[in-house]
Amino acid sequence: MKQHDPEAVAEVERATWNRSAASYLENAARLTSHAVDLLLENACLTPASRALEVGCGPGHIAKLMADTGAMVTGVDLALGMVEVASELYPRIEFKEANAERLPFDDDTFDVVLINFTIHHFARPEKACTEIRRVLKPGGRLVFAGPIEQFGFGAFMAGLTAHHTMDELPHGPIYLEATGADYENLVRDAGFSHHDVHVRQLTLRLKNLDQLLHVGWEMCELSKLPSETQEKIRKTIFESAAPYTTDSGYEFPDRIVIGVATK
């Protein structure tokens, strides 16, 4: 896979999520929520737990973690996300931080949770090694990441059919990643035990509004001519049609679920 400059990757990610911060909870969060219950189940949080969410976005998952009674901190690369999260959930601590340089002492957390973020890391191996550092001995990393997304795949079908754009810088774990890629990642980061497997988890949407909003915002498609935008939109609906149900859409996404122990 083509390698990109890590600083360029971080800058693109920061800009993208700052741009999306205000609308993330109503849109992108709907596309990445189907693994959250499994992550919380595997996190095994209690009121005695000290927990960290990396890539916390607007804080909605950190809030669910805190509902267990655990002491929770969230970090995100995008300051805009941290500001939204802090406003929504003022009783939870949120910090701007790069996963490669976490502002915490060694052996601080019982659990680190990551939902659909590892594939955005510029240097995931460095980030996972850093996450292992801040975990207590016996602490666990729980994570979810995309393997095959049929809803987002419909968007990509429309985009690639009608728009030529330079490939955005991205890290080595990306949309083409496999379960083995994630397994190798946590093993190489030094975790003593790991359980990584791919699950089919259905993404249910009433309509494609969130998908369209996220795609247009992330790729800044509103800058394109209106006729090009309409062609993209038409192809997206055509590509999503096989997943139509009486209540909207059901996309049989394949998602990696992992638990790694320090």
The whole-number pLDDT of residue 1 equals 37
Task: Centre a 10 Å sphere on the Cβ of residue 83 and count the other Cβ atoms it contains.
Answer: 17
The 10 Å CB-count burial string (b at 16+, else e) for 149-170 is: bbbbbbbbbbbeebeeeeeebb
How do residues 51-108 score in pLDDT, each as one tens digit?
999 999 999 999 999 999 999 999 999 999 999 999 999 999 999 999 999 999 999 9
Gap between the Cα atoms of 76 and 259, Å rounded? 21
| C-beta of residue 258 within 8 angstroms of C-beta of residue 143 | yes
- The domains of the chain, with CATH numbers, are 6-151+166-202+254-261 (3.40.50.150)
Span 105-123, average pLDDT: 96
* pLDDT mean over 107-114: 98
Give the distance, in angstroms, between the CA of residue 101 and the centroid of all CA atoms in the same chain: 18
The answer, yes or no, to whether residue 177 has pLDDT greater than 60, is yes
pLDDT tops 90 at residue 168: no
Confidence at 165, pLDDT banded by 50, 70, 90: low
- pTM value > 0.85: yes
